[in-house]
Amino acid sequence: MASAQPFVLRWGIISTGWIASCFVKDALVDPKTRDVQDVGHKVTAVGSRNVDSATKFIAQYANGDSSIKAYGSYAEVFADNNVDAVYIGTPHTYHYENALDAIKAKKHVLCEKPVTSNAAELRSLLAAAKENGVFFMEALWTRFQPLTREVKKIAESGVLGEPVALQADLSGDFGLDKIPKTHRILDPALGGGALLDLGPYPLIWALLALYEHPSNKGSKPSNVTGTMLKTPLTGVDRSTSFTVTFSPTSSSDTNTLSAQAVMSCNINASAYQTGVVIRYERGTIAIAAPIYCPKSFTVQYFQEGKSGTVVKEETRKFEYVGSGWHFQADEVARCVRDGKIQSELWGHDKSLLEMDIFDEVRRQGDYKFPPGVEKVV
Ligand SMILES: NC(=O)c1ccc[n+]([C@@H]2O[C@H](COP(=O)([O-])OP(=O)(O)OC[C@H]3O[C@@H](n4cnc5c(N)ncnc54)[C@H](OP(=O)(O)O)[C@@H]3O)[C@@H](O)[C@H]2O)c1
């Protein structure tokens, strides 16, 4: 019997910046190289504020495929009947309006992180996606990588006991003194700063290890704290540290998890090893940097009754063709094929929790966007 043809999702790409190029290169990697037979990807349109940029982008990153439409506006991509799903790679503070336009045109949406500027924008987008019956997901690519799925399996197998604490950092030296103040990482009008750009990555590990843990029973954090160090260049956060605590809030609370994540992000320091450490009652999982796309993790098992004495250590390494952005594309294709409006791996609740946490950390850190930047407040 002939094997079923894969479901091919037709993508429209919004913007021609750095991350859009990464996504397209990976989406066009042959899925068989990662043992995926059931879905595939075709780029059918690229939209830019400048049509020449879209044409150049197709030549450079999509093998010059002449069947791909180059558009000088995003609206033309949303109106294209050969586009099923839209990938949005614009700066943070444009995600809301770009995603809303796509949703209203009844396109499925994969939107870069952070999914919006604030939680209110996201709530409004999710309502619009539901009303229009389209799939919507934040492009938190790390959650779909094979390593992450393996960490989750071990973390929830019970072999290490309950999670107790997590430490995670993502830093990157953006050369703040050398880039213009209008660069998206420095410009408050583009949602600049460490928290919104880098914060999703430490947080995704905290949500995976603590929020998703069965003992937590889907409970929201009992406490969130944050502190920000701003750069005098533009006033955006240069370094942010934040904590998220999960613990029962009353005796009738069914959540039995009692654990805390301590996270940090910084835009003027290089990343360091080890990126994430998850500490359990009977061992640790250490995930190697870079924490957005780690290639290995090590599990240490403690001797029974002698907490901290390591009796066994195992390192797992992962390799694949491409850079890791294709796994989220596969997830979108499968969800669209199956008529879902959200992913079970990185569903709407997790993006909402992320944005609620970021709102709270910005409130405590007194980081306000310039008036008009947030489209819904
Ligand atoms: N998942 C990841 O690993 C990852 C990594 C880096 C960034 N990101 C996210 O992706 C988004 C874009 O980051 P990036 O590094 O790709 O940025 P970038 O290189 O500056 O590209 C952003 C693109 O957005 C479009 N755009 C629309 N309005 C704009 C405006 N007012 N100013 C600047 N650009 C505008 C431009 O494309 P056109 O000129 O073609 O319209 C531009 O090329 C951010 O939200 C960031 O958090 C994700």
Q: From CA 93, how far away is CA 113, in angstroms rounded?
A: 11
CA of 14 to the centre of ligand 1 (A): 9
SS3 letters across 49-71:
CCHHHHHHHHHHHCCCCCCCEEE
pLDDT for 14 beyond 60: yes
On the question of pLDDT at 226 being above 70, the answer is yes
Using the atom order of ligand 1, give the atom closest to the CA of residue 23.
1
**How many angstroms separate the alpha carbon of residue 19 from the centre of ligand 1?**
7
Does the structure show a pLDDT above 80 at 21? yes
Which of the four pLDDT bands, split at 50, 70 and 90, describes residue 256? Answer: confident
Question: What is the 36 CA–ligand 1 centroid distance (Å)?
Answer: 29
| pLDDT for residue 210 | 98
The pLDDT of residue 3: 62
**Cα gap 256→163, rounded to integer Å:** 11
Q: Are 316 and 296 in contact (CB under 8 A)?
A: yes
Q: What is the pLDDT of residue 249?
A: 84
Closest ligand 1 atom to the C-alpha of 139?
1
Ligand 1 centre from 91 Cα, in Å? 4
| Least confident window among 92-106, 161-175, 297-311, 360-374 | 297-311
Report CA(286)–ligand 1 centroid distance (Å).
31
Confidence band of 236 (pLDDT split at 50, 70, 90) = very high
129 CA distance to ligand 1 centroid (A)?
23
Burial class of residue 185, CB neighbours in 10 A (0-12, 13-18, 19+): buried
Q: How many of the other CB atoms lie within 10 Å of CB of 276?
A: 27
In the predicted model, what is the mean pLDDT of the chain? 96
Nearest atom of ligand 1 to the alpha carbon of 21: 16
Report the alpha-carbon distance of residue 8 to residue 20 in Å, rounded. 19
Calculate helix-pair angle for 326-337, 18-27, nearest 10 degrees: 70
Task: Tally Cβ neighbours within 10 Å of residue 235.
Answer: 16
Nearest C-alpha neighbor of 163 from the set 62, 261, 243: 261
Q: Of the residues 16, 18, 183, 204, which should be mutated to test ligand 1's pocket, given the most ligand atoms within 8 Å of the CB?
A: 18
Measure 89 CA to ligand 1 centroid, in angstroms. 5
Give the distance (Å) from ligand 1 centre to CA of residue 122.
Answer: 19
pTM, whole model, 2 decimals?
0.97
Q: What is the Cα–Cα distance from 264 to 203, expressed in whole angstroms?
A: 9
Determine contact, residues 135/109, Cβ cutoff 8 Å.
yes
CA distance 331 to 353: 21
Q: How far is the CA of 283 from the centre of ligand 1 (A)?
A: 39
Residue 54 in 3-state DSSP? helix
pLDDT on residue 48: 98
The identity of residue 253, as a single letter, is D
* Token pair belonging to 367: 């980081």
Residue owning tokens 């770009």: 98
pLDDT > 90: percent of the chain:
94
Cα-to-centroid distance, 52 and ligand 1 (Å)? 17
Structure tokens at 200: 């999703």
Look at residue 255 in the predicted model and tell me its pLDDT.
Answer: 81
Both tokens of residue 135? 């799939």
Tell me which of 13, 14, 15, 109 to substitute to probe ligand 1's pocket, judged by most ligand atoms within 8 Å of the beta carbon.
15
Alpha carbon nearest to ligand 1 atom 43, residue: 17
Ligand 1 mutation target, pool 112, 118, 183, most atoms within 8 A of CB: 112
Q: Which atom of ligand 1 is nearest to the CA of 141?
A: 1
Pocket of ligand 1 (CB under 6 A): 15-19, 48-50, 53, 89-92, 94, 112-113, 139, 141, 184, 197, 292
Q: Is the pLDDT of residue 1 over 60?
A: no
Ligand 1 mutation target, pool 184, 204, 369, most atoms within 8 A of CB: 184
Which domains can be identified in the chain, with CATH numbers?
A: 7-141+326-346 (3.40.50.720), 146-317+353-363 (3.30.360.10)
Protein residue closest via CA to atom 21 of ligand 1? 17
Q: Percentage of the chain with pLDDT > 70? A: 99
Query: CA dist 69 to 44, 79, 81, 198, 351, Å?
Result: 6, 12, 12, 32, 31
